[in-house]
Structure 1
């Protein structure tokens, strides 16, 4: 135990006692017993009587854990909700239970909310907002939402951070840090992942949610991306009145997507809403790489004309163009039952590490995919397929990169929303156009041109630095400051391989130059043309392709030999 944690533990002794009492209450004696080996936690336990364990009542461990988290309060609930979006690192039964966690809490008095607004604006709030409804629209662990009006009569909402939210979260994260260390120390063989790493990810995520200025920027970014889409509405964000603890945005008057009865009474089209809701998520992920990370039915409003209006922009995910490509490959591989494409995708996505038996993984994926042979695509449910994939990932003790996991979870949540609204909803058909665009975008000449420039720049830098690095090594060796230990075995073959490597590097530079030069010629559209493209550019690309294939063949042949 770190000595620095002792005063911190004494400072939060009351909260420690409360956490241990609740863990004991719900039958997690093993965790508390392990904690008792830690001096500070043993001190907390010695002052707490052992209440009747709820595990004797027949509840499953996952259900008891969910109930304990609900009783432990907002920070633990938030962590449970985030973990429910990571079925690659927690068992499916626990992920299912965590999805039931609710972040509803009793509202705090309006006087406290009013004081926060006044402090943040540094002036009388009623000079800016003549009307502020004292009854909250919603009350959660981090913030409380009140309806208000601007001087010009515009309906808005004020999302006000609870005065104690940040302090409570910081205390609980310190306690969770100690618990993570204890879990890692005494339950390491039972854990798929490092609890400290999971907690670090949660810490960053929840502190991003505490920054309302960042949430406002997220709203503005979505609004800009979807400015041309009349089927989607994003509220305006008023940056001039917003702070890190106060968010001012348009009031959205609609029906929650989860309220099927109200949607039907309003005469709205459930099937069309399902399509638009999933298209919204698909476009965010596959076109922009910037997406709402939790698009469940409670965060989606439906406006007249079947218009979709998302809410709560604190949790977003972001993936780059390359990740989008490989994610598309993963999904296409699953839909087409293409094992090689799936393996290639998960390798490129960084899911597989050097410890994995790739052949065994390939066999297991083949068995999983075989279950879906003969199943029509319209009957294929992404959530079932992905849940089996998550179980497979866990069995190999692998982890998805956090934002990739969020993207997959957002896809599955969008499909779930579609099926909630329209049970016969076919998500795969809606997904097809976006997957097609990914493939087309990959072979876009403009993208290849950009990639060629980057490759040429990298190779040029390598060619520039290699002699300098070599000279440095030689100088160190000459001055006696360089030492290396090696066993001499077939050094001649090493020299030959170095010669081959130099030749390949030279060939790669020539190929890169041909690609870049041909791209410039095609962009400039000069000289004689063939099929509408400059002949010189076409010849350059053909020559680069031939040399590239020759280079690949030489590499393959040398590896085989």
Structure 2
């Protein structure tokens, strides 16, 4: 049975590979395949595929990539959205374009959604709901949302995962992992960009997003973090009507945070809403280390008394204590304009290679800070400043924590909403009390004692395990089983080019031999004759001509003269 499943999965992968190649070729992105050493595929795509339309020919490479990802569907849309938060690994022009990815596709017929709900809950629809509206109120690539009413009378919204999306995503993840392994072998400085790590991070994120019970737990966790705070509201999760593929939550109605006219008409205080939103977000990040990862205006509603309600917790971010400390130290150094301290924080906490030029890094950081020198603190856009900061350190081959890049993108959105609500919105002013509190907490005697105790425990564990590890190494040496693996990176492309050059040289020698032999046979006038010429000479010239023409055409098509 397992073999049959594997065969079906391989067949799906082959079909998907063909579709991906077709789409990339159609948008003029075949060079991406060439970069992965898919030379024969590239040659074939150049002969067969053309840009999809005259319009596509005039699009920029980032626009072509965005359109290709949208056409390839769920997995690639989500991958593009992830990459739009990774300014440390792709150029800024691609980051900006991928931020416009549209995760909207036509909604499925209600009959398919009904069958999916019953399959996930394991009971007929009528045992949980009085009704479910046939028309969806929202739809995306992973799930679509319908209004409904429970048999107990509560008005709810039901988020239903699309049938077959899990299998499709798993097939795409297998393909992406294969591509990542190729990139790791052939891409320069792959240790910095870590393509396999990016795919693993992406697969972890999208698998969690497809499990809708995790979204329900995220809602409850953030609600518990803000327990007793009357300024925030979170919809209730109805677990009796929730499963991995179905999430049922309380229906809430309110004013979208982007509808400033409606907010003013309702007599609400825009400045107070901006202040509460900023404080709530900063509290999520710097105190709880667990934050909403997609707070765009459609996911933020305003109730009476300026109460803020957050929706759609499918994407959340986490900051462990080490990353929170790194973020705090960076922000403090930037606000205090401490170039020397900031450079050491980056190198010590970031994943920096041995080739980092400290002098060049400090110069770039000084220029970065000088660009904000004349700007009053209250006018600094913290999110965009951090985006520039991440772009700067990535150019110096220093890796950035993925959740930190997500946080910066979210901060840009939150800050934009705050400035729309309040033209005098000051994110630095809201940020300063949190930074001062966190800074004091990091240097409190209790925290220092706990960190010293943890460090001592680590050294004790190391000392306890050291004799065993030494003994194991010596035993392997005595049994001639001690081995050191050396990996040569970047030689595969060189070896293939060397093979190609050797093949061309051999082919040249064969053609030369045929021409010389045929010329000698032509002078001898011996053996069978064909149209008055020696047959062997005629045959030799013909073979040399055909092979030579074929060879030149192949070289011209490859683009490598």
Measured against the shorter chain, the TM-score band is: 0.7 to 0.9
Larger radius of gyration: 2
How much has 1:247 moved relative to structure 2? Answer: 1.0
Partner of residue 285, structure 1: 285
Instruction: Provide closer, same or farther for how the CA distance between residues 51 and 457 of structure 1 changes in structure 2, counting only shifts above 3 A.
Output: closer
1:76 has 2:76 as partner: yes
Q: How far off its partner does 1:429 sit?
A: 0.4
* Residue in 2 that maps onto 1:403: 403
Specify whether residues 281 and 187 from structure 1 end up closer, same or farther in structure 2 by C-alpha distance, changes over 3 A only: same
CA distance in 2, matches of 1:148, 1:368: 52
Q: Flag the 1:63–1:316 CA change in 2: closer, same or farther, 3 A.
A: same
Match of 1:29 in 2: 30
Q: Is the CA contact 1:70–1:77 (under 8 Å) kept in the aligned structure 2?
A: yes
Residue of structure 2 in register with 1:342 after alignment: 342
- Residue equivalent to 2:294: 294
- Compared CA separation, residues 263 and 47, structure 1 to 2 (3 A): farther
Report deviation, 1:239.
Answer: 2.4
CA RMSD, Structure 1 to Structure 2 (Å):
3.3
CA distance in 2, matches of 1:475, 1:90: 45
Give deviations 1:199-256, integer Å, cap 9, x for gaps: 2211111011011111111111011011121111111222233211111211121222
Residues 451 and 17 of structure 1: is their aligned pair in 2 closer, same or farther, counting only changes over 3 Å?
closer
Q: What corresponds to 2:306 in structure 1?
A: 306
Give the 3-state SS of the residue equivalent to 1:298 in structure 2. helix
TM alignment of 1:138-287, pairs within 5 A = 138-181=138-181, 188=188, 193-287=193-287
Alpha-carbon distance in structure 1 between the residues aligned to 2:30 and 2:479 = 59
User: Which secondary structure state, in structure 1, belongs to the residue aligned with residue 238 of structure 2?
Assistant: coil
Residues 65-87 of structure 1, C-alpha deviations (whole Å, 9 max, x = no match): 11222222222111111111121
What's the counterpart of residue 379 of structure 1?
Answer: 379
Deviations 1:428-455 (A, max 9, x none): 0011111011012113333334334334
Q: Distance in 1 between matches of 2:194 and 2:375?
A: 38
Q: Is residue 21–residue 50 contact of structure 1 (8 Å, CA) maintained in 2?
A: no
Cα 1:279–1:256, aligned 2, differ >3 Å: closer, same or farther? same
Q: Which residue of 2 aligns with 1:20?
A: 21
The change in CA–CA distance for 1:372 and 1:136 in structure 2 (over 3 A counts) is: same
3-state SS of 2:399 partner: coil
What's 2:92 paired with?
92
Assess if the C-alpha contact under 8 Å between 2:146 and 2:159 holds in 1.
yes
User: Equivalences for 1:321-340 in 2 at 5 Å?
Assistant: 321-340=321-340
Aligned match of 1:320: 320
Aligned to 2:507: none
Return the offset for 1:404. 2.4
Q: TM-score, normalised by structure 2?
A: 0.77
Match of 2:559 in 1: none
Cα distance, 1:163 vs structure 2:
0.7
**Matching residue of 1:127:** 127
Give the unaligned 5+ runs of structure 1: 485-561
The aligned residue for residue 501 of structure 1 is none
Q: Under a length normalisation based on structure 1, what TM-score does the superposition of the two structures give?
A: 0.77
Aligned to 2:439: 439
> Cα deviation per residue 1:17-61 (whole Å; 9 max; x = unaligned)?
33223222222132245568366x569849954345657743221
Residues 106 and 448 (structure 1), Cα distance of their counterparts in 2 relative to 1, 3 Å cut = same
Q: For each residue in 1:393-421, what CA deviation from the matched residue of structure 2 results, as whole angstroms up to 9, or x when unmatched?
A: 22112221212222333333322221233
Q: 1:362 to 1:277 in 2, by over 3 A?
A: same
